[in-house]
Amino acid sequence: MINISTRNRILIALVCVLGLLYAAPNFFAKDTFSNWPSWLPGQQINLGLDLQGGSHLLLEVDTNTVIAERLSGVEDSVRRLLRSAKIKYKGLGVRNLAVVFSTRDPSLTENVETKLAEEFKASTLDQFGSPTREVYVEAAGDGSFSLTLTEEAVSARIDSTVAQSIEIIRRRIDETGTREPTIQRQGKERILVQLPGVDDPERIKKLLGKTAKLNFHMVDEVNSQSASLRGSVPPGSMLVPSEDAGPSGQPENVLVRKRVQVGGDRLVDAQATFQDNQPVVSFRFDTVGGRKFANTTKGNVGKRLAIVLDKKVISAPRVNEPILGGSGIISGSFTVQEAQDLALLLRAGALPAPITILEERTVGPGLGQDSIDAGQIASIIGLIFVLIYMILSYGIFGVMANIALFFNIALILALLSALQATLTLPGIAGIVLTIGMAVDANVLVFERIREETANGRTPISSVDSGYRRAITTIIDANLTTLIAAVLLFAFGSGPIKGFAVTLSIGILTSMFTAIMVTRLLIVLWLRRVRPIKLPI
């Protein structure tokens, strides 16, 4: 153990130098080292949101609504098919994620089955280009049918819904001017949004919470609204609450036609602007949307057109003249901010499904900086305590362990920078803990050397067998701690993962520095001083 080949000496020194180089950028301001030659490492440690301040949001896409929508689409197709074939049926509806019905005449089962098979034949292509079936048709034989979405179809639909949601969320967040947001899918139906530097995410949360589905419906002025309010809503119409409170202080219900005249998916632009000193939102349709809008307004001059956003009527202005240019204005009782947000939402597009916020962790920049400062002070003071104590206990050997500890910290910082791992507040705690535990490997060796010396061995032989005997213990002891750290990483979330990362890195680097660096120092010292008795 006391013969270290020249090659190994160079390797050890090289690792230490690289450690210093990679750790160095963290001790300078960002613009200082950006002028350094490009071959020098120039990456600083990535600070977690709890240190740099920012907002972490975990969102869930309500994919159930998408599946339910699709099922009711299947129900519609079945109804159309049966009607056009003049087949009598009963009990058509969606139950337990299946469209069920039964024919009045059980002898028609086979006929209906063929028709359904034709209607829902494998039409979509999967990722390998082979056709997949979306709807699975099951006939019980007594004339009753059950149609379910296949597993592949459901998961494909969920995938595309989540992917589309991410796209819309990204557009909305980009529009707010947030720098470097991270938006990624997590698990099946969740989306993780990280917004560095955002300390009051209320506006963004409001923007994300809105589906922003915009539709234009005609107001039903033929049927009596008051009769509908008592419960008899005519078919083809529906009651939609208004966004603003009416004279009674409660939102009023507006009776509108179910048919969508034009949808918000046809919008190409929306901007907040002013009309008669009121904030309004101006919008422009694409060609198809513009034509639909023109036809609608042409045929309904003098009637009211309801603008419905997320199942609420924003306003229902009367059509004074045909609007042929494909653009228009939404007025309501908006504040400037509300008009801007609505315009933003319309530009970014509607979410395919509603979103709920499952978890939020926001740290203001003040607390983040305080945590960094506190972490730094704690690390430095902890380090000083340990350095002094090691020298008091082991003298010159303590000094050598301290030099190794210094390189150990440099290596931790270097690895964190090079791997671009995220440093969190618990991560700093991990470094402080590592400072305390890192000397353990050295302590094990030194205590062993003491014992060997007490047994009457020569200095060289004591050091040799001290290392030889302590090494298995060091590996056993550190690997068990590493197991706990790896599990922390696997199960922990966010900041805790950061703790596991620094702890694991710390365990590995401390094994290296204790076994390699301290040993090299001791060997060099032994060769130079050739002590008769070890001062330990």
Partner 1 sequence: MKLLKLVPANTAFDFVGKRLLAFVMSGFLILASLGLFFTQGLNLGIDFLGGILIEIKTDGPADLGALRTKLGNLNLGDVTLQEFGAPNDVLIRVQKQDGGDSGQQAAIDAVKNALGDVVVEYRRTEFVGPTVGAELREAATWAVLMAIGAILMYVWFRFEWQFGVGAVIALVHDVITTIGLFSLIQLEFNLATVAAVLTIAGYSINDTVVVYDRVRENMRRYKKMPMAELLNNSLNQTLSRTTMTSVTTLLALVALYIFGGEVIRGFSIALIWGVIIGTYSSIWLAVPFLLYVRPRRGGEESEGEYSKAKAL
In the region spanning residues 154 to 213, those forming contacts with partner 1, defined by CB under 8 A, are 199-202, 205, 209
Query: What is the closest distance, in whole angstroms, from the C-beta atom of residue 56 to partner 1 in the complex?
Result: 9
For Cα atoms 380, 383, 389, give the angle at the middle one, nearest 5 degrees. 145
Reported residue count of the chain is 536
Binding mask 420-459 for partner 1 (x = CB under 8 A): -----xx-xx--xx-xxx-xx--xx--x--xx--x-----
Q: Contact at 8 Å (CB) between 161 and 66?
A: yes
Question: CB neighbours (10 Å) of residue 41?
Answer: 17
Closer to partner 1 by Cβ: residue 75 or 338: 338
Q: Closest CB to partner 1 among 209 and 234?
A: 209
> Please, which residue, 143 or 352, has the CB nearer to partner 1?
352
Residue closer to partner 1 (CB basis): 169 or 316: 169
Tell me 384's DSSP state: H
Tokens describing residue 525:
């010292």
| Smallest separation (angstroms) from partner 1 to the CB of 337 | 15
DSSP label at residue 129: S
Least distance between partner 1 and beta carbon 235 (Å): 31
DSSP 474-521: HHHHHHHHHHHHHHHHHH--THHHHHHHHHHHHHHHHHHIIIIIHHHH
Whichever of 143 and 466 has its CB closer to partner 1, that residue is 466
Assigned token pair, 457: 């061995």
Long-range contacts of 285-292 (CB under 8 A, 24+ apart): 285/326, 285/327, 286/326, 287/326, 289/262, 289/263, 289/326, 290/266, 290/325, 290/326, 290/327, 291/326, 292/261, 292/262, 292/266
Which of 329, 487 has the CB closer to partner 1?
487
Cα–Cα distance list, 315 to 248, 278, 319, 334 (Å) = 17, 14, 12, 11
Could you say whether residue 133 binds partner 1 (CB under 8 A)? no
Give min distance, CB of 13 to partner 1, in A.
Answer: 26
In the bound complex, what is the minimum distance in angstroms from residue 420's beta carbon to partner 1?
A: 22
Cα(375)–Cα(50) distance, integer angstroms = 12
Binding to partner 1 in span 234-253, by CB under 8 A: none
Closer residue to partner 1, CB minimum distance, 310 or 451: 451
State the Cα–Cα distance between residues 432 and 413, nearest whole angstrom. Answer: 12
Return the number of the residue (437 or 463) whose C-beta is nearest partner 1.
Answer: 437
> H-helix or E-strand containing 383?
helix 365-394
54-61 and 190-196 beta bridge pairing = antiparallel
**Minimum distance between the CB of residue 258 and partner 1, rounded to whole angstroms?**
26
* Interacting residues with partner 1 between 8 and 37 (CB under 8 A): none
Q: Least Å distance between CB 41 and partner 1?
A: 28
Beta strand 46-47 with 422-423: parallel, antiparallel or unpaired? parallel
Least Cβ distance, residue 172 to partner 1 (angstroms) = 17
Neighbours of 374 (CB within 10 A): 12
In the complex, what is the shortest distance from the CB of residue 4 to partner 1, in angstroms, rounded to a whole number?
Answer: 24
- For the window 55-94, what string marks contact with partner 1 as x by the rule CB under 8 A? ---x-x----------------------------------
Considering only residues 274-313, where is the footprint of partner 1 by CB under 8 A?
none
Q: CA nearest 178: which of 202, 205, 200, 196?
A: 196
Residue number with CB closer to partner 1 (143 or 398): 398
Number of chain positions touching partner 1 (CB under 8 A): 80
State which amino acid sits at residue 107.
S
> What is the amino acid identity at position 132?
T
Q: Which of residues 467-526 bind partner 1 (CB under 8 A)?
A: 469, 472-473, 476-485, 487-488, 490-493, 495-496, 499-500, 503
Of residues 332 through 371, those in contact with partner 1 by CB under 8 A are 356-364, 366-367, 370-371
Rounded to the nearest 5 percent, the helix, strand and coil shares of the chain are 55, 20, 25
* Binding positions for partner 1, 104-123, rule CB under 8 A: none
Find residue 278's DSSP bridge partners: 275
Residue whose CB is less far from partner 1, 295 or 379: 379
Per-residue binding string, partner 1, 375-414, x by CB under 8 A, is x-xxx-xxx-xx--xx-xxxx-------------------
Are the beta carbons of 176 and 344 closer than 8 angstroms? yes
By beta-carbon proximity to partner 1, the closer residue of 40 and 388 is 388
Residue 435: CB minimum distance to partner 1, A:
5
Q: Are 136 and 147 in contact (CB under 8 A)?
A: yes
- By beta-carbon proximity to partner 1, the closer residue of 137 and 444 is 444
CB of 485 to partner 1, least distance (A): 7
The kind and range of the H/E element at 284 are strand 278-285
Question: Per CB under 8 A, which region of 151-159, 279-287, 299-307, 373-381 contacts partner 1?
Answer: 373-381
- Residue 57 DSSP symbol: E
